[in-house]
Structure 1
Amino acid sequence: MKHLTVYLFALIASSSFALRPTTEKQVASAAAVPDLPKVVEPSFSKDTFNIVKYGAVADGQTLNTEAFRKAIEACSQKGGVVLVPRGLWLTGPIELKNNVNLHVKRGALVQFSNKLSDFKLIKTNWEGVDAVRNQSPISGYDLQNIAITGEGTFDGAGDAWRMVKKEKLNEGQWQKLVKSGGVVDAKGTTWYPTAQSLKGSTTAKPGILQPGKDVADFADIKDFLRPNMLSLQRCKKILLEDFTIQNSPAWTIHPLLCEDITLRNVTARNPWYGQNTDALDLESCRNGIVENCTFDVGDDGICIKSGRDEQGRKRGVPTENFIIRDTKVYHAHGGFVIGSEMSGGARNLYVSNCTFIGTDVGLRFKTARGRGGIVENIFVDGVDMTDIAGEAILFDMYYAAKDPVQVNGEAFSIPEIQAEPLGEGTPQFRNFRIKNVTCKGAATGILVRGLPEMNVKDIEIENAVLESKRGLVCQEGSGISLKNVALFSTETKPVLEVQNSQNITLDNIRYAAGADLLLRVTGDRSKAVKLVNTNTKSAKKDVEIGQKVAKKVVTISQR
């Protein structure tokens, strides 16, 4: 792994940097980059097991759970393909087995039941901790050599499970939803599909397995415990290819503690108002390729996780060695996301040639005090974004926390943050290389918000053009470098805001002519802020320095 990291840093530094897949099926590519670990794809015999031969009926009325089970069981004995022909196949949960390729033909729609009683409660994992949830529509545990392929569609009947916030619908949609059944909370702000689901929403830590608790203890809030749609745990050699997966109750594709994952040409679609409907959550997984996918969901798009807080640190398994490329993300909370459950760490992730359209955030790296974990060696080359509601590029170590309380802040500065002692729960972000990024329309171009006790460290952003209301906000950062970056901020001043940050290099920064203020530096911990090769005369004022900042902290030079 040491050789892998050194080699990839060299690749990033070179002008010819290009990501290549490394699968056993592509020996030439693997030979070209020998230090990359191979991603081993599964292989199957041609033996085919048609679900019709096991009693399946494509009438949309017959529950085909048993037919799927029999076909998968028979296929697993020999290895081969379980064939789902064209048609509408109603079913309960599907459980995969070793050496099975579940192949859904074009025109096949696997419709999962909307009867919640068809799904039982099980012990599993939810948002990085041990929990009880309903079993997933598709699942596999401790398996090897498995695949889901074909151009068919899986529908998770998510509307039967999900709560909906009134604020996310127009009045007509809300009234129609209320009239359809279900219950509305006392505030009249959220609709729940059942009274049991509403009860779960008012329960402390619903579904979390605590000492003395077992599955039966959660029966009275069963409907609230929405399943992830495709759950694979502790599996190896996985191929997910060509299918559409939609209308998930919660997370859509969730490999946990898996190895050798190939995800190719998959479409994931969920309603934009669907809470927790992430497209892809790679959690504590290693070695994989995600390519040519399309994700349009109600939560994060491509998301990297590794467990939450103490349980995640105890597991101690980072998500590592993934290539993610040529993928589009629409309407999600984030395009490419790490966290916030990243307590086991994340490293050696390479993102290229991706497009984010209408997401809340583009590149979204989030954590919080208490998580712990190290996120490092993250490389991004080639991301294009439009209509980003929040930040184009975000490093936030205050995810899901209250806004920092101002401590001895100056009137015109962003709030300062109170330091806390270092400990095992202190998270770390370091060694990110981001290049060739464009964004047309965002609230903020770049936001770096670290902790005073643990800055966001060693971030390089190069060759970027970002059009946004605000330019750069850097708070509690160290070793932050922007080179050949255009920040066309439209509404606020300054273009560049730096607070309590050290070793900041701003090299060849372009901005809209006539800006009121180019750079503001505040905070008594700010040091070594360099503005290099930048035309300061296009701004009405070049630099503003806070009362606690020595003038020598900021240097302006031309090379």
Structure 2
Amino acid sequence: MAQQKTSMPVIKQVNIKADTTSIVSFGAKGDGVSMNTESINKAIAAVSQKGGGVVLIPGGLWLTGPIELKSNVNLHLKRDALLQFTDDFNQYKLVEGNWEGQPAWRNQSPISGTDLQNIAITGSGIIDGNGGAWRMVKRDKLTESQWKKLTTSGGLVSEDGKMWYPSEKTFKGSKTKNAGVVAAGQSAADLQSIKDFLRPNLLVLTNCKQILLEGVTFQNSPAWNLHPLLCEDLTLRNLQVKNPWFAQNGDGVDVESCKNVLIEGSTFDVGDDGICIKSGRDEAGRKRGKPTENVIIRNNVVYHAHGGFVVGSEMSGGAKNIWVYDCSFIGTDIGIRFKTTRGRGGVVEDIYINNINMIDIPGEAILFDMYYAAVDPIVLAGEKREAIKTVVVPVTEATPQFKNIYIKDVVANGAEKAIFVRGLPEMNIKDIYLENVTIQAKKGVEIIEGTGIYLKNVNVITDDTNPVVKIQNGNNINFNGFKYKDGSALLFDITGEKTKAVKVSGTNVSQAKKQSNIGTEVAKKALEISK
């Protein structure tokens, strides 16, 4: 295993006064009926203006509209405090923000802060985004009784009967190309007819420094749960982050173009990616030019999600110096997931992952894919998808790169496929190191357009053993101490005229009924086996 190139970062922590002010002293009522937007925001502003301190949300059901954080304030929720955001969309004004890596108009986030310093949300209470009022829902993701209950509650159903929309504005927005993307001369008034479609993320912090989110439950977000953007010195500790599994864009946390980040001791159970690294999309992300870097992710558990630990697909500003360790992924669609596509650009490099446990992964345990198509990772019943058509295009600044990624000490029990690597013909995925990995899966290893892929002490126990390993246009693919199921039908299936230097050592190739199947277009010496 190659050594890491940089040392782990030190994340600066908040330092906020213990002086405490209750929102009740500003007229707030926890009766589930009174609207507390003004009281909470006044409390936050007053505490910030006097030099900072704690704004206390005591026990009760606190109904509110959007809350704006201020510097030097810790918003603290008692255990029996439930802060719920209203489903009255009129309380949320349209603002210029960011959506999936691009400047975009969105409804104001339930909780937001911009250009702040030394801020926190702590305690053991619950923050609920009332996301069910905002989200459209796919028919295929609900039971018959759930679907009936939803469709009789209001809203409208698409002509094909496959999607429910909460309102006409949501439906119209779904049919509008580039809905909400900021355009010259556009104002909020121009978007009123699709306003409901422009769902906010539950918590958005932009260009803030020294942030602590600790102990709180964030749940039921309209779109993403937690979205720190262009932030520095961010700590997420002992959080519960939850969404229904069918929640559209219901990501757990999306760390975008941030520096010095610690995510630890937290649990995610969401509707899209769990812990996700981003840095802007396409030209807008490249122009911003801010990678997500110096990140530590440790001692976390991810239950349902499209991926446990994820990079991309909006990674146009790059990602580097990221450590992920001592985590468990349970039932995530994909375990460790790297995704991008042509047009993104950006370089993802120097990622160190170790001590990961996974069970019941419906898709790939470990995946690198440069053909991301913005669809669910698991094909739904009856859904048809076209096969990837391989074409070579010129390398430009819009060509993404994955390289120098180190994955060690991984155990996965139950996956559709153990390891999948698919690069671009013009830009292979490069220098991936896998060591001490044991995966029980239906299918084994597939490497397409990969260069410098190293598998040391990797054990794949597969149901489908024909083949165990499939390589197409791979270069410098190394198997050292590779283990597989005794009696497998075919060990290596090697195709692609660019395939060369597939090196196998320390491996008992005689356990397979057939050692290799090599395509006629492959050079005769492409497969090299040594003791």
TM-score range with shorter-chain normalisation? over 0.9
Cα offset for 1:514? Answer: 1.2
1:325-376 per-position Cα deviation (integer Å, ceiling 9, x unaligned): 0000011000000000000000000000111011110000000000000000
Select which of 317, 336, 344 maps to 1:363: 336
Contact 2:4 2:350 in 1 (8 A): no
Q: What is residue 30 of structure 2 aligned with on the other side?
A: 58
| Distance change in 2, residues 1:415/1:155 (3 Å) | closer
Alignment partners' CA distance in 2, 1:518 and 1:437? 22
Q: What is residue 83 of structure 2 aligned with on the other side?
A: 110
Matches within 5 A, 1:181-220: 181-220=154-193
Secondary structure at 1:68 match in 2: helix
Cα offset for 1:494? Answer: 0.6
Tell me whether 1:544 sits opposite 2:517 in the alignment: yes
Select which of 352, 369, 380 maps to 1:379: 352
Letter in 1 for 2:58: P
Matches within 5 A, 1:90-105: 90-105=63-78
Cα offset for 1:234? Answer: 0.3
Tell me whether 1:520 sits opposite 2:474 in the alignment: no
Q: What is residue 321 of structure 1 aligned with on the other side?
A: 294
Alignment partners' CA distance in 1, 2:290 and 2:140? 38
- Select between 342-351 and 174-183 the one with higher mean Cα deviation: 174-183
Matches within 5 A, 1:100-499: 100-400=73-373, 417-499=390-472
| Distance change in 2, residues 1:287/1:415 (3 Å) | closer
Cα offset for 1:172? Answer: 1.0
Secondary structure at 1:40 match in 2: coil
Letter in 2 for 1:65: T
Cα offset for 1:416? Answer: 7.2
Contact 1:368 1:401 in 2 (8 A): no
Q: What is residue 478 of structure 2 aligned with on the other side?
A: 505
Alignment partners' CA distance in 1, 2:441 and 2:18? 53
Secondary structure at 1:220 match in 2: helix
Secondary structure at 1:72 match in 2: helix
User: TM-score, normalized by length of structure 2?
Assistant: 0.96
Q: What is residue 58 of structure 2 aligned with on the other side?
A: 85
Contact 2:433 2:455 in 1 (8 A): yes
Contact 1:369 1:427 in 2 (8 A): yes
Cα offset for 1:324? Answer: 0.2
Alignment partners' CA distance in 1, 2:183 and 2:389? 37
Alignment partners' CA distance in 1, 2:254 and 2:4? 27
Tell me whether 1:43 sits opposite 2:15 in the alignment: yes
Alignment partners' CA distance in 1, 2:11 and 2:82? 30
Secondary structure at 2:34 match in 1: coil
Contact 2:399 2:427 in 1 (8 A): yes
- Select between 128-137 and 185-194 the one with higher mean Cα deviation: 185-194
Letter in 1 for 2:418: G
Alignment partners' CA distance in 2, 1:416 and 1:466? 29
Cα offset for 1:551? Answer: 1.9
Secondary structure at 1:76 match in 2: helix
Contact 2:252 2:270 in 1 (8 A): yes
Secondary structure at 2:10 match in 1: coil
User: TM-score, normalized by length of structure 1?
Assistant: 0.91
* Coordinate RMSD, CA, aligned: 1.4
Secondary structure at 1:167 match in 2: helix
Secondary structure at 2:147 match in 1: helix
Cα offset for 1:10? Answer: 3.6
Alignment partners' CA distance in 1, 2:330 and 2:469? 25
Cα offset for 1:36? Answer: 3.9
Secondary structure at 1:159 match in 2: helix
1:242-277 per-position Cα deviation (integer Å, ceiling 9, x unaligned): 000000000000000000001000010000000101
Alignment partners' CA distance in 1, 2:398 and 2:367? 21
Secondary structure at 1:493 match in 2: coil
1:184-204 per-position Cα deviation (integer Å, ceiling 9, x unaligned): 111111111111111111111
Secondary structure at 2:424 match in 1: coil
Alignment partners' CA distance in 2, 1:68 and 1:115? 17
| Distance change in 2, residues 1:371/1:415 (3 Å) | closer
| Distance change in 2, residues 1:200/1:415 (3 Å) | closer
Alignment partners' CA distance in 1, 2:230 and 2:302? 24
Unaligned runs of 5+ in 1: 1-7, 13-32, 403-413
Greater relative CO, 1 or 2 (CA 8 Å, sep 6+): 2
Secondary structure at 1:117 match in 2: helix
Alignment partners' CA distance in 1, 2:428 and 2:183? 33
Unaligned runs of 5+ in 2: 376-386
Alignment partners' CA distance in 2, 1:142 and 1:120? 20
- Select between 75-84 and 205-214 the one with higher mean Cα deviation: 205-214
Q: What is residue 409 of structure 1 aligned with on the other side?
A: none
User: Percent of aligned pairs with the same residue?
Assistant: 57
More strand by share: 2
